[in-house]
Amino acid sequence: MEIPGFTLARQMDEIGQELLETMENVVNSGQFILGSPVAEFEEQVARFTHSRYAVGVGNGSDALYLALRALNIGPGDDVLTTPFTFFATAGSILRTGAKPVFTDIEVDTFNMDPEQVRTRITPRTRAVLPVHLFGLMTDVELIQRNSKVLVVEDAAQAIGAEVRGRCAGSIGDLGAFSFFPTKNLGALGDGGMVLTQGEEQAQVLRELRAHGSREKYYHEMLGINSRLDTMQAAILSVKLSYLPAWTSKRQHIARRYGESLGALSLDEVGLPTVPQGFTHVYHQYTIRASHRDQLRAYLKNQGVGSAVYYPLSLHLQPVLQDLGYRRGDFPISERVQEEVLSLPMFPELTDQEIDYVAETIGQFYGKRIG
């Protein structure tokens, strides 16, 4: 059996025609920058996440950057974040002129440890930037209760995730989504969005994404050109209507993996955990595996795709060496980068395929599964 780690081909079989019609409508409308498809999609996302305002931007990296800019974060400020994330999290902080400061993660959730956050805050810390990795939220409310700093949520991988009934991206001062094609809600290109509960902040964001201008050709602040493309907004509106069903399928897949892989010992694999009160949307189904690289090669040989997110923690990245971190500074992040393996996860995966993946992992460890 051949099972890709990820594919959009099956989604296109289902909704490709609807997307083509949507694209044709945009072509015929003659409107390609902002306009009603963007405004409508912004409203839909605000409603979906129980947020007051949503501002569409060019991609998730810009969403983070502009969220920080809307809070006036810049040179001289520290922003506390996780070393175990995609580069854009730290890259966006650096683009503002502020300094990313890392704090270690929890081994079972892969997210920054809210209890440690409290001890890492200094007078220079202007904001905390938690990442809801793989679709499971960091406990933002706990961070807010422990400290009075601003919070920007990197919810790039977590649209639809919840903690105690509150949506990813809607709890912090601002929240950022990415609509990169592989995300749970993915465009057919780049796209991003910032959530905010403040009218003034929403207005500032709309200006920042258009070169800092409220009125055309009058510039009050230094912004960038980062608008959500009209074509992508129209496509994303269609896809958003499928998102709840796709998320349920991801949760079914995770349950089925969990039931099978639960037969393996904890020395062999650690499965994703979902703390009480949290809803995981499984952007990735990521296990911790002993002999990870051999397992990955074995799976590949048996036709099963997988991926390693992320093989090198941010504090060890060559481009960030000026921050002054060393190997050993964040032991959990460094351990986890050697152990993580993301298994095939996309809503169209069949039960037979899920079982084949689990059985193949069982074979690698010499255990019969199923």
Ligand X SMILES: Cc1ncc(COP(=O)(O)O)c(C=O)c1O
Q: Site residues (CB under 6 A) for ligand X?
A: 59-61, 85-86, 88-89, 131, 154, 156-157, 178, 180, 190, 192
The C-alpha atoms of residue 10 and residue 273 are separated, in whole angstroms, by: 28
Taking the complex as a whole, the smallest distance from the CB of residue 368 to ligand X amounts, in Å, to 36
With respect to ligand X, which residue has the nearer C-beta, 104 or 268? 104
DSSP tally for the chain: helices H, then strands E: 11, 13
Task: State how far Cα 281 lies from the chain centre.
Answer: 10
With respect to ligand X, which residue has the nearer C-beta, 67 or 357? 67
Cβ–Cβ < 8 Å for 188, 45? no
Task: State how far Cα 305 lies from the chain centre.
Answer: 21
Q: How far, in Å, are 44, 159, 276 from residue 162 at the CA level?
A: 17, 9, 11
Shortest CA distance to 361 belongs to which of 308, 309, 302? 302
With respect to ligand X, which residue has the nearer C-beta, 345 or 358? 345
With respect to ligand X, which residue has the nearer C-beta, 179 or 356? 179
One-letter amino acid of 311: P
Taking the complex as a whole, the smallest distance from the CB of residue 21 to ligand X amounts, in Å, to 25
- The helix (H) or strand (E) run that includes residue 43 is helix 36-48
Taking the complex as a whole, the smallest distance from the CB of residue 92 to ligand X amounts, in Å, to 7
Taking the complex as a whole, the smallest distance from the CB of residue 350 to ligand X amounts, in Å, to 26
Taking the complex as a whole, the smallest distance from the CB of residue 364 to ligand X amounts, in Å, to 28
Taking the complex as a whole, the smallest distance from the CB of residue 181 to ligand X amounts, in Å, to 9
With respect to ligand X, which residue has the nearer C-beta, 229 or 268? 229
Cβ–Cβ < 8 Å for 224, 199? no
The C-alpha atoms of residue 370 and residue 109 are separated, in whole angstroms, by: 27
Cβ–Cβ < 8 Å for 70, 189? no
With respect to ligand X, which residue has the nearer C-beta, 89 or 201? 89
Whose tokens are 């709309």? That residue is 206
Structure tokens at 260: 């099978």
With respect to ligand X, which residue has the nearer C-beta, 157 or 279? 157
Burial group, residue 312, by CB count within 10 angstroms (0-12, 13-18, 19+): middle
With respect to ligand X, which residue has the nearer C-beta, 48 or 180? 180
With respect to ligand X, which residue has the nearer C-beta, 86 or 346? 86
The C-alpha atoms of residue 248 and residue 309 are separated, in whole angstroms, by: 23
Taking the complex as a whole, the smallest distance from the CB of residue 190 to ligand X amounts, in Å, to 6
Whose tokens are 């694209």? That residue is 23
Taking the complex as a whole, the smallest distance from the CB of residue 95 to ligand X amounts, in Å, to 12
Burial group, residue 212, by CB count within 10 angstroms (0-12, 13-18, 19+): middle
Taking the complex as a whole, the smallest distance from the CB of residue 88 to ligand X amounts, in Å, to 4
